[in-house]
Amino acid sequence: MKRLTATLLLCSMPGFQAQQVLAQQPAKPATAAQDDGVVKFSSNTQLVIETVFVKDKSGKAIEGLTPKDFTLTENNVPQTIQFAEFQKFDDTLKGPPLTPMADIAKAVEPTTPAASVTAGQIKPEAPGDLRHRDHRLLALYFDMAAMQVPDQIRALASARKFIRTQMTSADEASILQYTGAAVKVLNDFTSDRDALLASIEKLIVGEGQGFDEADTATDTGTAFGQNDAEFNLFNTDRQLAALQTAVKMLGTLSEKKSLVYFSSGLRLSGSNNQAQMQATVNAAIRANVSFFPVDARGLVASAPLGDATVGSPGGQGMYSGASALAVAGNFARSQDTMYSLAADTGGKALLDSNDLAAGIVNAQQAISSYYIIGYYTNQTNLDGKFRRVKITVNVPDAKLDYRQGFYAGKTFSKFTSADKERQLEDALMLGDPITELTIALEVHYFQLNRAEYFVPVTVKVPGSELALVKKSGGERTLIDFIGEVKDEFGTTVSNVRDKVDIKLSGETAAELVKRPIQYDTGFTLLPGNYTIKILARDDETGRIGTYATKFLVPNLNKEEKRIPISSVVLSSQLVNITDALFTAGKDNKAPIANPLIQNGQKLLPNVTHVFSRNKDMYVYLQAYEPNATTFQPLVAFVTFYRGQTKAFETQPMQVTEGMSNRLKTVPLKFSLSLNKLPPGRYDCQVTVLDPSGQKAAFWQAPIVLTQ
């Protein structure tokens, strides 16, 4: 699925914010000095939570300590401890073991429980409110996209075994799932074994399978539907980014958390993956989360050149031993990453074992009774630097185990290039979209051949919401765009990633406040149902806007009763393509013919369908007659309805010439003057007739006409 070139233009658009927006501009922050002369001050306090294990010589937890018994410094600066809360666990088994038949009966029991207000999320805690007091928190994270079907079966079976027979009264578990699209929370932390088992039963074996950790030296292509010429997942590893997203969810809780990560290996490649690895580990440390990876492949004995599930590597490597070494090396590297995740966060990896439930038991036994210590740091500079923490206690011979330090948060102005890239990727994967910028989007489709369709996508962002920076005598603004198109099965079939540096002169910069920025790109897709998600970020302020919508690319080859037509583009601007502020191409191949660009001019789709009476409206669409032996003249006209009343209709236009391609594409163009219509809301209808074939096609959409 190829992506076309992208262009960016500064376009005139009345009433841009009238319709089809997903985000609204947030209120501007208060400044120190207001116009009325009143001075306002703001303070920034950061609550830091530390979990501290305090044990005596025999290894037993020491109870009864208060904040006065602890001394804490951050970068050698003493801090005032606000509270020290002891968490005491009851490690007796939680009731009699549940039987598999009881699980099945519970799963199919025809009950309708009340919907949880925290469904699909980890309910956060207010500062100082320990909602899970005296409970051990275990998050069971199933990376379904990184496990083959047999591995998924083993992972789910081990989770059932632990819940039925090994949970204690102190344990609370959460079920998280990742299928390659987003991290889903199936269960918030609970001790209800029936609820946990019911959530596991909802996991579908085979769902999300796609990250095949093939143990071959051959290149099997990317796992996200891109061709090999495209960048692989925006230069970082999505599996690690998904783990980072899960860690941030868990970070809203003050208690110590253990994340049991079920996967069939995690293999990194390249420096960008290492950067994401470090970001994930740092996020886990800040959130008081330890990773306990479990290799769902179990104890593996594989053939030297791989089994029948992978292709033969071929070449001289089969005979020199290089291929066999590559297979063994790839397998070892996939486990090395899991081991590093555990070692860097204080967890323990379970590798080469068929008892996968032991990995959950490791996480369970790693957390004994501990203290939660909270303090408001007096170092409020969000510079992203490492802060070393040292804790002592006034108990002789006491042994302490705690987080030795953490990386401070960062303001956007302190972000590195890698930080900014990860921020976009995280935002793209979030189930809760970020809507700080206003975005409007429109998708069209035009048939290219019997199989493929060109899908132009137009995005508009109000120029008034973008920040301008003076540079080299002019002004500039920088916009990042990232997005992806998924099919109905959740597989990414195409994506886009562009960085747009817009340099403006003085007059043009003044117009930016009144006009939106238009960004457009395009894809070639097969017929089907798709979902597109596009993010735009102002690179000066870090504000992000998100637009997500579903769209259909119909199979026009199956249209027999009506005239096959493309989508209809409504526009109020026809500009020279040389007026684009930005043009980007992904490769050196010949670009796909964009039907919106003809004779050096480009038709700019009106995304919001808001038109001015002082400007002409342009209407463009294509009709197709692939089965006609000779060209069949078509008749078309445009009608405006106001309620049930016909307000205006163009004269029928007869098209007597078509393009000489296999589809026999017939372009239909209209230019309408709107100055005779009063302002208001209308329904615009396009009618296409085939008099000889006795067929017709209709298209209709609402529009708004302004003065």
466 Cβ contact list (under 8 Å, min separation 6): 477, 479, 512, 517, 538, 540
What are the boundaries of each domain within the chain? 6-24+435-706, 55-88+371-431, 92-109+136-368
| Number of Cβ within a 10 Å radius of residue 525 | 21
Q: How many Å apart are CA 628 and CA 369, to the nearest integer?
A: 80
CATH number of 6-24+435-706: 2.60.40.3880
pLDDT of residue 138: 95
CATH number of 92-109+136-368: 3.40.50.410
The single-letter code of the amino acid at 127 is P
Contact 375, 72 (CB under 8 A): yes
Tell me which residues of the chain have a pLDDT lower than 50. 1-7, 12-37, 40-42, 102, 104-119, 210-236, 270-272, 582-591
pLDDT of residue 112: 39
Tokens 């061709």 found at: 227
Tokens 């995740």 found at: 341
**Is the pTM for the entire model greater than 0.85?**
no
Q: Give the strand pairing for 695-706 and 610-612.
A: parallel
pLDDT of residue 273: 56
Contact 338, 351 (CB under 8 A): yes
Nearest to 248, CA basis, from 294, 199, 282: 282
Buried b / exposed e along 206-241 (16+ C-beta atoms within 10 A): ebbbbbebbbbbbeeeebbbbeeebebbbbbbbbbb
504 Cβ contact list (under 8 Å, min separation 6): 10, 468, 474, 475, 476, 477, 512, 581
pLDDT of residue 425: 81
Expressed in angstroms, the distance from the first to the final Cα of the chain is 42
The pLDDT tens digits of the residues spanning 642-651 come to 888 899 999 9
pLDDT of residue 120: 62
pLDDT of residue 391: 95
pLDDT of residue 110: 41
The pLDDT tens digits of the residues spanning 323-332 come to 667 667 777 7
The residues with which 141 forms a beta bridge, in sequence order, are: 176, 261
Q: How many Å apart are CA 638 and CA 635, to the nearest integer?
A: 11
